């Protein structure tokens, strides 16, 4: 596992910048993103950032698992003894950096989309850059509600093969076309400008 590269600050900045890489598990070819956030945000803001850079709709439960502890938004769907710590009350910089060097993020417990998240670097903020920002990535996120990794594999098989019995129905379901290789970095960063509004919408709204 890659060690965190700590870049010591030369000035008294109010926040450092954490650079993460997130990779979707159990899907080949790999779907991944590299992005940067301030270290004074909550885990809830980190979750919102993850959903936005990956391309998930955000309409399902999610949770972090960091060093054996689950963090999410407490919800009636959880059993009382499995209730996660409230991610809205946890500040990123208050967590040991070593704990962030490889943890799990799960989205949609029914479909079971698991991600590996790694803290790659700790940097000084750059003048003129508004965080969060996505630096790069590869491939389009699977559509929500397609049935997890196995369902996504079947979905791709169907839309690529005109002779597949579900070809037409899948294309209709997805809106006519879907390019799994397409990743719109410019579009992601445009959307991230509205992260305050998106976080407010997602706060407590997961189903």
pLDDT of 204: 52
Considering the segment(s) 5-139+183-202 as one domain, its CATH architecture is Roll (3.10)
Q: How far is it, in rounded angstroms, from Cα 87 to Cα 58?
A: 15
pLDDT of 113: 98
Whole-angstrom CA distances from 42 to 54, 89, 90, 94, 188 are 18, 7, 5, 10, 20
Q: What is the pTM of this model?
A: 0.90
The structure tokens 């009350």 sit at: 89
Confidence grade of residue 1 (pLDDT, cut at 50, 70, 90)? very low
pLDDT tens digits for range 80-135 = 778 999 999 999 999 999 999 999 999 999 999 999 999 999 999 999 999 999 99
pLDDT of 28: 96
Bridge-based pairing state of the strands 85-86 and 69-72: parallel
Domain ranges in the chain?
5-139+183-202, 142-180
């Amino acid at each position: 596992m890659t060690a965190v590269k700590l870049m010591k600050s030369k000035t008294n900045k109010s926040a450092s910048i954490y650079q993460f890489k997130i990779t979707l598990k159990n899907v080949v070819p790999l779907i991944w993103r590299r992005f940067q956030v301030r270290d004074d945000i909550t885990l809830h803001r980190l979750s919102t950032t993850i959903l936005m850079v990956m391309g998930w709709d955000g309409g399902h439960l999610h949770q972090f698992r960091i060093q054996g502890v689950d963090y999410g938004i407490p919800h009636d769907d959880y059993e009382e003894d499995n209730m996660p710590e409230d991610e809205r009350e946890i500040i990123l910089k208050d967590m040991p950096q070593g704990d962030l060097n490889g943890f799990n993020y799960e989205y949609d417990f029914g479909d079971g989309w698991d991600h590996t998240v790694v803290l790659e670097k700790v940097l000084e903020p750059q003048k003129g850059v508004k965080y969060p920002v996505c630096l790069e990535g590869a491939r389009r996120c699977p559509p929500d509600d397609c049935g997890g990794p196995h369902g996504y594999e079947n979905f791709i098989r169907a839309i690529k093969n005109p002779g597949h019995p579900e070809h037409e129905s899948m294309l209709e379901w997805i809106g006519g076309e879907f390019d799994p290789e397409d990743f719109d970095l410019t579009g992601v960063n445009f959307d991230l400008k509205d992260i305050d509004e998106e976080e407010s919408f997602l706060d407590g709204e997961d189903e």
